[in-house]
Structure 1
């Protein structure tokens, strides 16, 4: 055989999609694993023509599941971000949108048995250590994808997947404010470096001569802006203790602006080398925390909620995303948990094939 078949489920999770594997069906060592994922996705071509990727960062994501080694959790979720063109795999971050499909995929794989009309799945995000309680719809003990929940960036409606994120502060750096400051100045731009579910360098759109309401396509076409913020992002990564982030997707970068469509605040999120078409689940938690924290670059852009829990509505290129933030302000701002409502859908299953010269199989 010149190819190795690997069982997988192809799923949409939130506003992302990709293959979901059993971790046991993949190579143990990271170097070989990376080559297998590059081949499966087809990284190295703008259309991922030789793989199952979709030619965008939101469609070259991978989930790997196993029975959890953590006493609290049921499922371990190991995430990989595969680049579209550069044949790179980043195992540092996690993805909350892909996590939306972890509960349903775990049931599909037989890792979880439905427990009633709604099944709770306790998930440990291996990359960051975050703990997430997912509530999946299983009426009569059977998994369903049908429902009436709509999310911006996805056509139609589907069954809701409720996510409650815990232990997300300092996900990658161990600190809420990795630089120790509410604001830093980098290349003349004020930036809040914050780590909640995802480390992000956050700035004001107006400081780049932008409104913050631009479409993703308009921002992607602004190469001068991308070059400027990439230099800031790289320096922010050093200050946040992440080292040389030139080839890493973290920290992410984001812009804030006053809301214009009835939300709490407007946001644009970068992945980081292109604009997210909607909003990342992990990123939304960090941006909501930034909005709620006095002294950050969000000051003056919103009427800051003071009662917990607060429903923070982020306006993004495709609509809005709501984050229910449980926090306290007894000693500055501190986050207890963040809740979001997403959807997921199984698209296909079977085997994905990679050349046997890369890996001959388990």
Structure 2
């Protein structure tokens, strides 16, 4: 057996092993084979690995010192399929991103400051930069705090993530088709690429209320098949080619919110409904709400922006609410920065054991 050092961490509402890039094979195929074996993919319970048998717990972060000037840390996210031997590195994961800063500090990749440490992370999946602020009183990472996030029990120290240049994460354009809305299979949609490439639709246009539980949506096989057909066609329209083996674009159903929120969302991963909302998805939804002419804007209850063009949006989802701060240029409407608060925790560290024939 080959032993590979790793740290299991919770980032936001996701969980998975964190590896130093130097501890994994450089060859992409060899690296993916190691990740598949480590997670135990190819079995619904991932019984022969450390995956959790769910897309939210079958994620991997690969971290190393940045090779690009102006950034501190390189971060590659890998979504490892639960039941198939597949690894997808097309999208970023904003929840796992929350644990990248603490991991980098504790692994000695970056020096900590007192009382907090700010760093710039380059997401290698999208080529986009994120500024992370980690609580480090006395120069040590603190996981204890009073911040609560929907979908995670208890409270913890806040990790602030500011997406600096998130537009066009995979397609190179905020509006991949050049239009604020398109019709796909007779359904009005907005193709939008901010932190993640997504196809946004009103829940009512697919016969849903937008208030259904994830289990109810997943159990409606006719609906899920229709949603996948829409996603495949949208992938072509967005210039992504065949997306049958990719997890983007993400389908997102939207509905009018209840009091105190901006919009209600059901986010798909893409073949199951998220029990909360991905952070990249929340960034995408919030930005679309602030873009006049989109499906999201039509359904949103937008708060007024302040003099600097900042406003706090609140996204409803199955586990509660996620706040997102948007900063837009007051004159042009260009989105300058999108910020969210997450939490993270180190769960255990040690070695994952891989059969020699794999490694």
Relative to the length of structure 1, the TM-score reads 0.96
CA distance in 2, matches of 1:87, 1:263: 39
CA distance in 2, matches of 1:302, 1:26: 44
**Structure 2 residue aligned with 1:102, among 90, 100, 103?**
100
CA distance in 1, matches of 2:213, 2:92: 25
Deviation of 1:328 after TM superposition, in Å, equals 2.7
Q: Name the counterpart of 1:323.
A: 324
Residues 22-67 of structure 1: CA deviation (Å, up to 9, x unaligned): 0010010111111100000111111111111111111011000110
CA distance in 1, matches of 2:328, 2:186: 32
CA distance in 1, matches of 2:5, 2:60: 13
**Structure 2 residue aligned with 1:269, among 267, 270, 280?**
267
Q: Secondary structure at the match of 1:330?
A: coil
Give the stretch that moved more between structures: 342-351 or 119-128.
Answer: 119-128
Q: Name the counterpart of 1:352.
A: 352
Deviation of 1:343 after TM superposition, in Å, equals 0.2
Unaligned runs of 5+ in 1: none
- 2:168 touches 2:195 (CA, 8 Å); kept in 1? yes
**Structure 1 residue aligned with 2:173, among 172, 175, 186?**
175
Unaligned runs of 5+ in 2: none
1:164-313 alignment to 2 at 5 Å? Answer: 164-307=162-305, 308-313=309-314
Deviation of 1:334 after TM superposition, in Å, equals 2.2
1:113-152 alignment to 2 at 5 Å? Answer: 113-152=111-150
CA distance in 2, matches of 1:29, 1:202: 35
Give the stretch that moved more between structures: 193-202 or 106-115.
Answer: 106-115
Q: Secondary structure at the match of 2:286?
A: helix
Deviation of 1:330 after TM superposition, in Å, equals 3.4
Q: Secondary structure at the match of 2:180?
A: coil
Residues 96-138 of structure 1: CA deviation (Å, up to 9, x unaligned): 0000000000012111121111011211101101111111111
Relative to the length of structure 2, the TM-score reads 0.97
When the two chains are superposed, the root-mean-square deviation of aligned CA atoms in Å is 1.0
Deviation of 1:306 after TM superposition, in Å, equals 4.9
CA distance in 1, matches of 2:72, 2:298: 42
- 1:323 touches 1:338 (CA, 8 Å); kept in 2? yes
Correspondence 1:314 to 2:298: no
Deviation of 1:299 after TM superposition, in Å, equals 4.1
Q: Name the counterpart of 2:337.
A: 337
CA distance in 1, matches of 2:286, 2:135: 27
Matched length = 356
Q: Secondary structure at the match of 1:325?
A: strand
Deviation of 1:286 after TM superposition, in Å, equals 0.6
- 2:254 touches 2:265 (CA, 8 Å); kept in 1? yes
Q: Which runs of 4+ in 1 moved over 4 A?
A: none
**Structure 2 residue aligned with 1:161, among 132, 136, 159?**
159
